[in-house]
């Protein structure tokens, strides 16, 4: 049995993706029989009181999951036997969009300090070309491991799709950093149908409630839109590519990069508002075809893109670095 410490900003209600990923890893590790404990980033970053640091050291985790910047305030000197699996900021500076985090020089120094002692593995959810261009320095310059871990789905959230959804479409997500795509694709859908469900930062919903209410399952289509930079530079496919489908949703995705991982009979790509509108109309009339596509998409995800798959990749990479 492994002891896992998972560190993130627990009380930040806007970190939807972080909460979803933490929950996915928790469910998968616990299903494996491992121990999984969450620690709060903000509490660890405060020197006084030091209780969260003391709790972490006392816990003696085999593996610590955190963002790469968190290593600056982790008590690593007292955790010599803990492997560190760190979500990586861009090693080489990238300014494709404001939400990209670039690695600071002080954090590089801390990574370099511990790279010869702790087993450190940095991971990125980005596409291979982005990783080659912006993340290679972790291994070349700092001597830490690096691995690609695409976003994935929690198989514990599997929901059977239904043949007769009662709502036209569902949109869940923040609009502030993808406003252009929201205006281009979601607003036109709202103009042709009033039969929809929407949750943005103005009427937020928790990841847990999305699953409990079965929202993706209830709608004919679930538009999945990315930022302009994500599409233009092939940065990544977002977490909803996987999670919406595992929960019985039929998504229409605007990112052609998704074709790299899913076939045409699993996932539909649309790149204009007219395509989104036409596809809504088409699948209203072809619900059986829609149902079969969701089932194929789910089968692909369950075989290749769950947190169990990602954990296997992590453990193999850590083991390889010990040899």
Same domain, 192 and 295: yes
Q: Do 37 and 52 contact (CB within 8 A), yes or no?
A: no
Domains in the chain: how many in total?
2
Helix 273-285 / helix 287-304 crossing angle, nearest 10 deg = 110
What pLDDT, on a 0 to 100 scale, did the predictor assign at position 322?
86
Reported as a pLDDT band with limits 50, 70 and 90, residue 144 is very high
Phi, psi of 293 (to 5 degrees): -70, -40
pTM metric for this prediction? 0.95
Report the chain's mean pLDDT, rounded to a whole number.
95
15: domain range? Answer: 3-152+306-322
Q: What are the tens digits of pLDDT across the range 249-298?
A: 999 999 999 999 999 999 999 999 999 999 999 999 999 999 999 999 99
Q: What are the tens digits of pLDDT across the range 36-49?
A: 999 999 999 988 89
Same domain, 192 and 63: no
Same domain, 63 and 97: yes
Same domain, 297 and 316: no
Same domain, 243 and 102: no
Tell me: pLDDT of 16 over 90.
no
Average pLDDT over residues 238-246: 96
What pLDDT, on a 0 to 100 scale, did the predictor assign at position 225?
94
What pLDDT, on a 0 to 100 scale, did the predictor assign at position 76?
96
Same domain, 19 and 138: yes
Provide the strand spans (E) within 145-255. 145-148, 167-172, 196-199, 219-224, 251-253
Same domain, 312 and 272: no
What's the CATH code of the domain at 260? 3.40.50.2000
What's the CATH code of the domain at 312? 3.40.50
What pLDDT, on a 0 to 100 scale, did the predictor assign at position 6?
98
Q: What are the tens digits of pLDDT across the range 152-182?
A: 999 999 999 999 999 999 999 888 888 899 9
């Amino acid at each position: 049995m492994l002891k896992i410490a998972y560190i993130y900003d627990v009380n930040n209600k806007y970190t939807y993706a972080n909460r979803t990923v933490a929950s996915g890893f928790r469910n998968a590790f616990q299903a494996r029989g491992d121990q999984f404990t969450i620690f709060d980033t903000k509490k660890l970053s405060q020197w006084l009181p030091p209780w969260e640091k003391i709790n972490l050291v006392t816990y003696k985790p085999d593996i610590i999951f955190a963002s790469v910047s968190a290593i600056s305030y982790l008590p690593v000197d007292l955790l010599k036997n803990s492997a560190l699996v760190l979500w990586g900021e861009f090693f080489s500076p990238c300014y494709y969009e404001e939400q990209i985090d670039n690695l600071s020089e002080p954090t590089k120094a801390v990574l370099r300090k511990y790279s010869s002692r702790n087993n450190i593995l940095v991971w990125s959810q980005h596409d291979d070309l982005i990783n080659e261009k912006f993340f290679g320095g972790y291994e070349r310059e700092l001597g830490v491991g690096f691995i690609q871990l695409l976003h994935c789905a929690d198989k514990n959230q599997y929901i059977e799709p239904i043949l007769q959804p009662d709502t036209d479409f569902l949109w869940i997500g923040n609009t502030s950093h993808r406003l252009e795509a929201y205006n281009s694709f979601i607003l036109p859908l709202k103009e042709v149908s009033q039969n929809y469900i929407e949750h943005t930062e103005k009427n937020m919903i928790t990841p847990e409630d999305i699953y409990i209410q079965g929202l993706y399952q209830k709608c004919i289509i679930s538009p999945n839109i990315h930022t302009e930079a994500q599409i233009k530079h092939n940065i990544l496919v977002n977490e909803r590519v996987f999670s919406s489908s595992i929960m019985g949703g039929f998504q229409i995705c605007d990112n052609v990069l998704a074709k790299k991982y899913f076939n045409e009979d699993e996932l539909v790509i649309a790149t204009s508002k007219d395509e989104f509108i036409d596809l809504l109309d088409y699948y209203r009339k072809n619900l059986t075809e829609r149902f079969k596509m969701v089932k194929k998409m789910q089968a692909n995800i369950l075989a290749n893109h769950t947190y169990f798959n990602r954990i296997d990749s992590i453990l193999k990479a850590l083991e390889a670095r010990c040899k």
